Chains A and B, each alone.
Chain A
């Protein structure tokens, strides 16, 4: 683990250099605050291309567990349809590992893959690198219809009016809970809490105490800034300035706000009172879920990414003796009635290697993977949400909902979420550093008792420093 950290730091320097190295051209389209359509029309149209000879392409991904198996099946389907294109599906570790690797081999060198799956927060950095083919080029040429896409997912990856990468796997944080525990506590499992007040009331019944000691907590969470970001979106609040970096390059964070403070206070008070079971930093994420199956305590609810839903269902299927009736609920809102969620996850990028057959084969793969049929199958076999609404009417999804009604809820949540700057997600270069600053602040608040105000302020100044440094490097 430590080696990976070292690696990450090693390449943090590279990234900025890579971004500067190609930013100096001057004639390229500059970031404009308003003229999104104008930038789009200045671009030369991509020429039509017929793929005639066989081509081999690498596709780097970061899917593990049930999701990896599902992705392999999709690529196999693609091979059957396009015998001329051979796809090497290569697992490159987590998103950070994969990105570091991409930077190391040279973003658009001949060693770069034809398609790479990268995390949502890298969108600005990848765009700044100018070493990828904007997906919009292919979309415009082939009149690829984006109309049926989930708008928040599509708009997340749209920068300066151009779709930069193709949304592929979308997830959101949800509550996993044991319906049996709800029933035992006299709660209706069909009516899970939707805001912090309701959650607090439900928790009173779900928590088990022995004297002053809480033996079963209400909700297990790990420390990640992702939940914080989502709680902001629920309240319609921004994460960085300039409308989340979408009306112009963000130069400061906006999370040190009453809305942000509300989340931090809830977190600290919850851990203090035993309502929240803090499982600590847990990048791969199963600890919060394991609290659900811990018969000697643990928690009644776990806050986790919906991406794990499939693995959870499979796990419980294999362990029927645990007496757990898995149910899911949308992330509760800090304020009553909050509905927004950010639909991040990961998207597919095509590095601009200049090798036309390779780029075109990559586009064939990407457009295949984002078609309605494939997204339906993907939703049904992985834990991810489909990126398009028209996938939902197809048979695989209908079958899935019949068997596992837990999945339907995920989609209902998207339908209700408004498409605003707050839910389109924040764009900024040093997303990871900003997240690191928040995570250390949250950790310090929970473990050392720093006040929520102090913690937010500290995270704000560290994050602003990182953003300034990045912006200086690219401008």
Chain B
């Protein structure tokens, strides 16, 4: 009896949680599908009133949505690939190599985790501007090519790999790079996958930085495009919502595909080490 009560309470809480999380997404989809003009109806529609996909077509043709998505895809993939590569290399050095000042340097890296990104926006922006990288892919990617969080996560994971493996590999004549590539990377695949997905997701959702450095449709990412649509098409809520759904879909897909890696990878770092 008591147990039954607890379970149903738990489910009520979960239900409430999912309504809070899914509610806005539902409303976005609903309004995107409402017939033109019906978004201004009062009282507002809570249930679908006809399905009209015209808003999706308008959102796609009114603004270069395809280009924005492509830009986001390119930038996020590049950031994910680069930050995983640099993190693996740096984390390997911190975990398997001995060199003077190792802990000091690592502490410095960790310290940079404590500095909010917003603090470094202005100096970063000035660097990018001086390099002449405004409104370019490199301007969007390079500032995120290395991440202290990634280094930290992977180092923690590398510590779980027995040192004996390294010694054995050295006996067999493996150098650092070969050991890294043949042994460490295959053993850390879940962590690497999680880091990659995580970097990709956070790159996809970036707003402030792309807003600052892009100023043409050639390089704008989908989030910036979305913000522009919402102020430019203030008179067509259905278009704004359709654009939101379009921007959301690739991420939803990615999350569904990689959910396991993401959860496993993140918790792996949390308990061990």
Which residues of A are at the interface with B, using a C-beta cutoff of 8 A? 3, 6-7, 10, 58, 60, 63-66, 68, 88, 90-94, 101, 104-106, 109, 111, 284-286, 290, 293-296, 311, 314-315, 318-319
Contact = CB atoms under 8 A, between A and B. Distances in A.
Given A3-B211, A65-B232, A104-B212, A318 B122 contact: no
16 contacts: A58-B216, A64-B234, A90-B217, A91-B232, A93-B227, A104-B212, A105-B134, A111-B129, A111-B134, A284-B234, A296-B42, A315-B40, A315-B235, A318-B36, A319-B37, A319-B40
Nearest to A62: B231
Interface in B219-238: 227-228, 231-236
B235 A111 contact: no
Contacts of A91: 228, 232
A296 B41 CA distance: 11
Contacts of B208: 3, 6-7
Interface residues of B, number: 27
A54 to B, nearest CB: 19
Contact of B216 (A88, A290, A311, A315): A88
Contacts of A315: 37, 40, 235
Nearest to B236: A65
Nearest to A308: B235
B219 to A, nearest CB: 11
A285 B231 CA distance: 11
A296 to B, nearest CB: 6
Nearest to A88: B216
B53 interface: no
Contact of A311 (B134, B228, B235): B235
Contacts of A293: 40, 42
Contacts of B270: none
A3 B224 CA distance: 12
Contacts of B211: 3, 7
Contacts of B235: 64-66, 286, 311, 314-315
Nearest to B207: A3
A290 B237 CA distance: 13
Contacts of A295: 42
Nearest to A294: B42
Nearest to B237: A286
A104 B215 CA distance: 11
Contact of B231 (A3, A7, A64, A290): A64
Contacts of B236: 65
Contacts of A6: 118, 208
Contacts of A294: 42
Nearest to A111: B134
A104 B228 CA distance: 18
A286 B234 CA distance: 8
Contacts of B7: none
Interface string B112-126: 000000100110010
Contacts of B227: 93
A217 B212 CA distance: 43
Nearest to B218: A88
Given A7-B211, A64-B231, A66-B235, A290 B125 contact: no
Nearest to A312: B235
Contacts of A111: 129, 134-135, 215
Contacts of A319: 37, 40
Contacts of B232: 63-65, 68, 91
B134 A64 contact: no
**Which 5 pairs show the lowest CB-CB distances between chains A and B?**
A64-B232, A65-B235, A319-B37, A311-B235, A111-B134
Contacts of B212: 7, 104
Nearest to B217: A90
A92 B228 CA distance: 7
Interface string B190-224: 00000000000000000110011001110000000
Interface string B5-44: 0000000000000000000000000000000110010110
A109 to B, nearest CB: 8
Contacts of B36: 318
A296 B134 CA distance: 50
Given A91-B228, A111-B135, A64 B125 contact: no
B42 A284 contact: no
Given A68-B232, A90-B215, A315-B37, 7 more contacts: A58-B216, A65-B234, A90-B217, A104-B212, A284-B234, A296-B42, A315-B235
A315 to B, nearest CB: 6
A314 B234 CA distance: 13
B236 to A, nearest CB: 8
Contacts of B231: 64, 93-94, 284
Nearest to B227: A93
A64 B63 CA distance: 12
A86 to B, nearest CB: 13
B118 A92 contact: no
B212 to A, nearest CB: 6
A94 B42 CA distance: 28
Contacts of A65: 232-236
Contact of A106 (B43, B129, B216, B217): B129
Contacts of B37: 315, 318-319
Contacts of A64: 231-235
